[in-house]
Amino acid sequence: MTTHRTKVLIIGGGPAGYTAGIYAARANLQPILVQGMQPGGQLMITTEVENYPGFAQAVQGPDLMEQMRQQAEHVGTTLVYDVITSVDFTQRPFVAKADSGDEFVADTVIIATGAQARWLGVAGEQEFQGAGVSACATCDGFFFRGKEVAVIGGGNTALEEALYLTHHASKVTLIHRRDAFRGEKILHDRVFANPKIEVLWNHKVDRVLGKGGAADGGFDLNNPKQVTGLALSDTVTGEGRELPLDGVFVAIGHDPATAIFKGHVEMDDEGYVITAPDSTRTNVPGVFAAGDVKDKVFRQAVTAAGMGCMAALEAERFLGGH
């Protein structure tokens, strides 16, 4: 077991974590960043990113994260390939223990562990991620201009995604396994009033259909993977049907990666870390939270990076005052 000591411990290696590392390192705070299970975060499972500032041409999600990782390391962030399994925020310096057995002792902590989209868990879904299957309309809707897409879900997220996609797609089919939406009535009204949206009640997805890849005899440059539709079944009658589509947006919620922080920092009912207004400060002085771990509204790489910057600056000010 090795004990690592640092002024700033960053837990999580996505846009928020790497940006926090860049700012903390440039402030000469010698941060340590523990990258977690999925270094790079959710962008590692995306393909083209067109909405991150500074890239005139679309950049691949993994390439963008590799650039951030290299930048953080280049300016002086120590990157550790490990997973934090427990924390003690009862007194400073704070202590975090890792899966390897190593211990991290830190004057401040930035939580940047992100969130994961919930998936349906049906055949074809994972295979066609980035080839027509997405969990972020704001990220990927642009690629479906003039095409027909489906949104899966019945809560506020699904309704908002469906409405957003009408700016790009020619038709949006909103598929819900029940006969009534959850969420806010104002969104229901907007959905029902939009001529581009068709609601398909009492249906569930059995399989994502597509061509190319394993579903069509293996990868072929001339036959790239692409969603072609959904296999559905009626939740009342059990009757099956196929719906031809160009894209599928799964909108059944996100889960913040905050299990190890439960009982250590204040969270809401969904497990998102609560921070002070216009700040990344948690209820524990010296502990900050940035990115999708605290943001259930925007969930964008650029907003996560901005919060990573905020967290590093706030950590620097905290250390200056102590």
Residues 6+ apart with CB under 8 A from 5: 93, 104, 105, 106
How far is Cα 256 from Cα 251, in angstroms, rounded to an integer?
15
pLDDT for 215: 47
Rg (CA), the chain: 21
Q: State how far the alpha carbon of 117 is from the alpha carbons of 26, 42, 187, 231, 297, in Å.
A: 32, 9, 21, 21, 13
Work out the angle at residue 124's Cα, subtended by the Cα atoms of residues 156 and 153, and round it to the nearest 5 degrees.
Answer: 10
319 burial level (CB within 10 Å; 0-12, 13-18, 19+): middle
Q: Active site residue: 63, 99, 102, 139, which one?
A: 139
pLDDT for 214: 55
Does the pTM of the predicted model rise above 0.85? no
| Domains defined for the chain, CATH in brackets | 3-116+254-320 (3.50.50.60), 120-250 (3.50.50.60)
Q: Is position 309 annotated as part of the catalytic site?
A: no
pLDDT for 31: 98
| Long-range pairs of 90-93 with CB within 8 A, sequence gap ≥ 24 | 92/286, 93/5
**pLDDT beneath 70, residues of the chain:** 45-47, 213-223
pLDDT for 221: 53
Q: Is position 139 annotated as part of the catalytic site?
A: yes
pLDDT for 220: 55
DSSP 8-state code for residue 296: S
Amino acid at 263: G
Q: Active site residue: 102, 136, 206, 234, which one?
A: 136
Task: Tell me the per-residue pLDDT of 56-99, one tens digit each, with 9 for 90 and over.
Answer: 998 988 899 999 999 999 999 999 999 999 999 999 999 999 99
pLDDT for 224: 82
DSSP, collapsed to helix, strand or coil, labels residue 87 as strand
Q: Active site residue: 140, 246, 292, 295, which one?
A: 140
Task: Tell me the per-residue pLDDT of 97-111, one tens digit each, with 9 for 90 and over.
Answer: 999 999 999 999 999
How far is Cα 52 from Cα 301, in angstroms, rounded to an integer?
7
